[in-house]
Every structure is written in structure tokens, then in C-alpha cells.
Structure 1
């Protein structure tokens, strides 16, 4: 009987052990299942979150792409509009430039035409004036020729009369011997006779009015200094300065040829005083045309 009870107790303990081991296993399986379900749920949530984020990103990308396309379309429209405006402005500018150029060319052509017209009128007037002047000159020449023809006889008469007067004047001119004993030829006693001597052209004549101050005065190529006058006796005294030499001509008479030589002269110079006053004398200097001594 005790043996049976022992066996019974052993069986019961084994069964209890087996029952305890099965419970542990079930618990372990349940824990693993719960862990697996938790992992699956976590992963599912993660995937869903990722999918949601991807959907949002896709949506944002599509929105951004749409905005970019819209912006590109707007920008292209603005560029096209700007280009169209620029083309219009360029075309307008070309038309205005062409119009201005044509207008300027027309204005310039008008000015040139006006200038040419005025110049043509001026030349036409000058031609008419020249023609009238030529006709007038021709008439004057004809009248002058007729007058000359009529005056030829008168001129001849005047020439003959002049020759007669000149011959008479030559006769009136005096021939005297100078203070150096040289025949002076013709001398003049007044301005009229001096004019006749100039016409003969034999000598050069220099008139002078010489004051009595003792200071040399240039007359022609020489200098004269009046030192003394004697109105009552018609005499004078003067110094002649030529070739760095001074020669005194003392107590000379009115209309007397006062002669002196200069360097290289073959005929003497002559000083003739026609009028003697208290403080001055009036006369002329006669200089020969040929001054150089003849070579031997």
C-alpha cells in the first residue's frame, strides 16, 4: 500500500512538473507574440509615417514644380512682352531716324537751293551792272575820242605855246660863274625858275629855309649852318659841312652860286640863296646828276 502511494505521489509530481513547464512555454510564446506584434505595429507605424512624409514631399514637389512652371510661363510671357516692346521701340526709332534724316535732307536741300538762287540772282545783277557799265564806258570812250579829236588842234597849239614859254624862261634864267670860278650854267632866282630847272633834269634840287642859329641843318646829302646875314648889303656867311669837312663861305651875295666839291665829284655842288632876311635865308642846293669822277 505504501508503495502504491509513493508511486502515486511520484506521478502527481511529474504531472505537476509537466503542467508547470507547459505554462512557462505558453507564457514565453505569448511574450514573443506580443513582442512580434509590437514590432510589427511599430514598423507599420514607421512605414505609414514614411509614406505620409513621402506623400507630403511629393505633394510639395508637385506644388513647387507647378509654381516653377507657372513662374517660367510668366517669365517667358514677360520676356516676350519686353522683346516685343523693344522691337516696337527699335522699329519706331528707325522710322523716326529715317523721318528726321529725310526732313534734314529736305531742309538742307532747301537751304542749298535758296543759296544757289540768291547767288544766281547776285551774279545776274553783277552781269547786268557790268553790261551797263561797259555800255556806259563805251559811250564815254566814244565821247572821249571825239573830244580828243576835237582837242588835238588845241593841244598842238598849247604845245607850241609851251615851247615858246620855255624858250622865254630859259632866256630869263641866268648863267653865272660860281665863287670857285666854275661856270655854273643856269641858276634860278625864284621858285618858278627853279621849277623850270627841274624840268630840264640836269641836276637834283633841294630847297631850304635856313635859320640863323648856327646849328647845322641837313639839306640833301650835306649840312648847312647859317652864321651871319646882312640884309642891307644882301650878303650872308654860312658853313658847308660835307665829307667830314667844314668850309666857311663868307660874305656871299644873293643869287651867287656858292660852289664846293664832295668826294669823287667831277662837277661842284652849288648853294644858291635867293632871299636874305634878318634871321634866315631861303634858297636851294643844286646837286649834279653825275657825281663820280671820270676814270682816266
Structure 2
């Protein structure tokens, strides 16, 4: 069979043409798609712009409202501050007035209390003065009485001292005043020239302490008013035998100096004697 039964294969230019046509179609399709996308983007941008403008408008309105609210609140605070200041000033004025009133009340109260205390002090001083005057008068009366008694006592003492006698003791030494009874003994003590130690000595085998010496009664004869004693002084015993009442019985001790000790017996009873020991005031050891 011949060539007419089969078509001839396309040439190379036909393929190129087909490819070019396909590319053009694809390009057109891409442009259409890009156009559509661009239009869509424009629409979205317009919507976005409108939304942004709306937000800005709303924000401005909100900001305006907020500013107005803040201003009103600030004005309210300013008004409240002013009111508070006026109240504070008013309260300060009132407090000052109340403080002044209270101070005046305190001053009046203090003045009243001071006046009351002054009156009480004056009353107490008057009472004290009256009591003192009464006591002074009583003391003056007592002093007058004491002076009178003292004068009488001194006069009596002088009279009693004048009645006292000075005699020579058993050692031949002139004695001081001799008391023969209780009244004269009291006067002798008041005279104060010598130390006076009274004793009531009973008969005993053991010495009895009288002042700084010891005495032992050996014999007592009330009928003859005589007695015998032993004197223990400076570790030495001296017997004074058959002495009579109111006779100064004298002896020396080391610390008595040049003045003798004296024993005077005023009463002689059965197995006892009553009298006193007289010692020098200034006792200095003899050389």
C-alpha cells in the first residue's frame, strides 16, 4: 500500500506552536488568578482600613469619655479636699475654743483649791499656835515649878551639906564629908566630890564584892554599935576591928593614889551592917 494510507508525522514547528499556546493559556490563567487575588487583597485592605478607622474612632471616644471621667473625679477630689480643709479649720477653731474654756476652768479650779488649802493651812496654823501657846504656858508653869523645886532642893542640899561633918579617920587622915543617914548620903552623892557605893553586908565566910574591893563581916555588935570587918584590896587582907558607926575606916589601894578609900557604917544589926564605900574621883596610882 502506498503513503496515502498513513498521515505524515507533524513537523517540529507544530510542537513548538502547541507548547507556546499552552504557555500563553497558563500565563493568562495565572494573570486571572493574580488579578483575583489582588482584588481580594484590596478588599481585605479596605476592610482592615475601615476596621482600623473604626477602632481609632472608638478609642478616641473612649479616651474622651475616660478623660472627662477622670476630670470629674479630680474635680470631685478637689472639692472634697476643700471641704475637708474648711472642716479642719472649723474643728481647729472649735478645739481651740474648747481648750481655752477647759484651761479657764482648770485655772478657776486651781485657784479655788489654792484658796481652800490656804484657808486650811491658816486654820491649822491657828490651831497649832493656840496649842503651842497653851503648851508654852504649861511649860512655863512647869519650869517655874521646877525652878522653885530646884531652888528648894538646892537650899535643902546646902543646908544638908552644912550639916555634914568632916572627921579624922582611923588612919589619922582628915576625911571628906561623912553621911550619917539616908538624907545626908543623898546630899553627899549630889555633892559629887567622891564616888559613893552603898552596901548591905551580911555575915559570911566568903568576901562580898563592894565596888573594886571585897569585904567580909566578921562580927557585928548592935548593942555597942561596933563591928569587925576584913578588907581585901590589892590581894591583901586588912582587918578593921571593933570599929564604931559613922567612923571613917580608911585604907589605901594602889590605884587610889594619895587619897584613901573610906568605909562608913551607919547601922549595925544582928549579923549585918549597912553603910557605904567612898572612893576618890580621880584615881591615880601612887609612886
Tell me what 2:36 maps to: 38
Query: Structure 1 residue 98: deviation in Å?
Result: 3.1
The 5 Å alignment of 1:240-259 reads 245-251=234-240, 253=243, 254-259=245-250
Would the aligned equivalents of 2:208 and 2:216 in 1 still touch at CA under 8 Å? no
Tell me what 1:170 maps to: 162
The 5 Å alignment of 1:1-296 reads 27=25, 30-31=28-29, 34-59=32-57, 61-62=59-60, 65-66=63-64, 68-69=66-67, 72-73=70-71, 76=74, 79-80=77-78, 83-84=81-82, 87=85, 90-91=88-89, 94-95=92-93, 98-99=96-97, 101-122=99-120, 124-125=122-123, 162=155, 166=158, 170-171=162-163, 173-198=164-189, 201=191, 203-209=193-199, 217=209, 219=211, 223-228=212-217, 230-233=219-222, 234-235=226-227, 237=229, 239=231, 245-251=234-240, 253=243, 254-259=245-250, 260-263=252-255, 265-275=257-267, 282-289=274-281
Supply the distance in 1 between the matched residues of 2:105 and 2:207 (Cα, whole angstroms): 79
Query: Structure 1 residue 184: deviation in Å?
Result: 0.7
Tell me what 1:13 maps to: none
Aligned-residue CA RMSD (Å): 5.1
Supply the distance in 1 between the matched residues of 2:215 and 2:91 (Cα, whole angstroms): 97
Would the aligned equivalents of 1:274 and 1:283 in 2 still touch at CA under 8 Å? yes
1:284 partner SS: strand
Would the aligned equivalents of 1:229 and 1:278 in 2 still touch at CA under 8 Å? no
Supply the distance in 1 between the matched residues of 2:58 and 2:271 (Cα, whole angstroms): 137
2:111 partner SS: helix
Supply the distance in 1 between the matched residues of 2:173 and 2:237 (Cα, whole angstroms): 18
Query: Structure 1 residue 182: deviation in Å?
Result: 1.4
Would the aligned equivalents of 2:197 and 2:210 in 1 still touch at CA under 8 Å? no
Query: Structure 1 residue 192: deviation in Å?
Result: 0.6
> Cα deviation per residue 1:48-104 (whole Å; 9 max; x = unaligned)?
342244235425533653464356346535644664575467546644653564345
Q: Give the direction of change, closer, same or farther, for the CA distance of 1:118–1:23 in structure 2 (3 Å limit).
A: same
Supply the distance in 2 between the matched residues of 1:195 and 1:71 (Cα, whole angstroms): 121
Aligned residue pairs total 253
Supply the distance in 2 between the matched residues of 1:35 and 1:25 (Cα, whole angstroms): 15
Q: Report the TM-score, using the length of structure 2 for normalisation.
A: 0.59
List alignment gaps of at least 5 residues for structure 2: 1-13
Would the aligned equivalents of 2:201 and 2:208 in 1 still touch at CA under 8 Å? no
Q: Report the TM-score, using the length of structure 1 for normalisation.
A: 0.58
Structure 1 window deviating more from structure 2 (35-44 vs 55-64): it is: 55-64
